[in-house]
Chain A
Amino acid sequence: MKSLASIPQLGTGISYRPHFSSKVFQHKAEIDFLEIVADHYLDASPEKWHELQVLNDHFVLIPHAINTSLGSAEAPDESYVDKLASLIEFIQPPYWSEHISFSKINNIEIGHLSPLPHTDASIETICKNIALVQKKIKTPLILENISYLVQQPMHQMKEEEFIRKIIQESGCGLLLDLTNLVYNAANHQYKEEDFLTTLPLDSVIQFHFTGGIFKWGRWIDNHAAPTPPEVWNLMQALTERCNVRGAVLERDDNHPDWNILLEDLRKASTFMKKNNTINSYR
């Protein structure tokens, strides 16, 4: 397996959705790479497969999986992992990503990423499943922190400590979703700065940024609003402390003029270039 250190500097990219494919090609020069939802291509029709081939010919693609359910206290679905392995083999990305969560158990499909209790048992479980998946997928894996609304009673440690242990014990990289972090901090009353100091920042390979909405008295990360100032501030703090290889803007809906999105990419790129001291992979 390749090491995290071998991952090249990718720059700034966008989370790809088919409904804006023409825009992505139109602004190709300003988009360094694309993050694709791996699940959209696992049972791909010939047309979808063709779309993937075209994207892969023109962009560096990073597969972002959403249904491996690494945190489930059961083995990952074998056929799902096989399909994911084939996709990653075809794309040959520098790394792929999944979430620190569970989305199914005992044949109950929840339909969304659900938080794990911050316990030693959860850490052992997710590391066990990562090891199983890595038997079939040799490409480096990075793990994303999720946003969550439900607090669970049996936490044995804080979330940042939980993530740090998973990263250290699994050897995976970290995909830090800055918006999830800011919204979790607001919803569950903690300081994102404290969170950042506990994380193993040298393992942060990529970050996500976007905006969401305030609904039902909570901040919800719906990928459909401009990036809020708190996220930009956190991005600055993060890039001052570590060499992140890639930044991805996740904007699925409610698109403004594309020049505004591209301006966001340029702003993130400026943070990364200004603060990164290691640029040997470029």
Chain B
Amino acid sequence: MSYNQELHQWQIQLAAWYTNAALREDELELHKHGMSAEEVNIFAEGLKRKRLHQVESLLPFSFAKHSEYLREKFLQYSQQERLQGLHLKHTRDAIAFASWVEEWVPADTQTLLRWERFLLRCSLPEGNFYFHQNPYRLFKQKASDSVDAKILRRKEWVIGFRVMKKKAWKIFHIPLPF
């Protein structure tokens, strides 16, 4: 099916301005096309904030632990990396951001990021098996457990799997003896 090529090209140009900060710096080019740099920048800023809000809500423990720094890093990340895909794009964005930022955060935040990334992967329609290693037990302490430092320091393996795509994920925690 054929589409109007002039409109197609114009939409590509608009999408590039909305999602690429470097292109927006050339205000002369925007004006040449009859666009207000101020309006385009406000819209683009809103897009970034919306994207940040979504990622924050998908990585709640990590952001709670290291909020200011992760927000700042996300704004930097969003300048470099565009949203990808149509389905569950914010979940994929949060997974990609967690991978991108993990090398710059302290160990405890890194543990949380990796854990939340693992959980998000287990919410995607693709894949049936994921493995994760926690450096210490995170959320599976029972009320009856004594808060024993030795127990808390024990590493654990976490295995997420499902038998079929339409079945619920099962997540097993396996404490390691060291």
Contacts and interface: CB of A to CB of B under 8 A. Distances in A.
Interface residues of A, number: 41
A125 B42 contact: no
B76 interface: no
Contacts, number: 109
Contact of B168 (A46, A105, A112, A149): A46
Taking each of A72, A102, A112, A122, which has the highest tally of chain B beta carbons within 10 Å of its own beta carbon? Answer: A112
- Chain B contact-residue range equals 35 or more
A112 B11 contact: no
A121 interface: yes
B3 A110 contact: no
A42 interface: yes
Contacts of A110: 15, 18-19, 47, 83
A216 interface: yes
B16 interface: yes
B150 interface: no
A117 B5 CA distance: 14
B51 A111 contact: yes
Contacts of A121: 4, 6-7
A149 B42 contact: yes
Nearest to B5: A73
A63 B33 CA distance: 37
A109 B85 contact: yes
Contact of A111 (B12, B45, B83): B83
A114 interface: yes
Given A47-B168, A67-B86, A154-B34, A75 B19 contact: no
A118 to B, nearest CB: 12
A149 B46 contact: yes
B130 interface: no
A151 B31 CA distance: 12
Given A73-B4, A216-B42, 14 more contacts: A43-B88, A43-B124, A47-B168, A67-B86, A73-B3, A77-B86, A108-B16, A111-B19, A112-B50, A121-B4, A125-B3, A125-B7, A128-B1, A152-B14
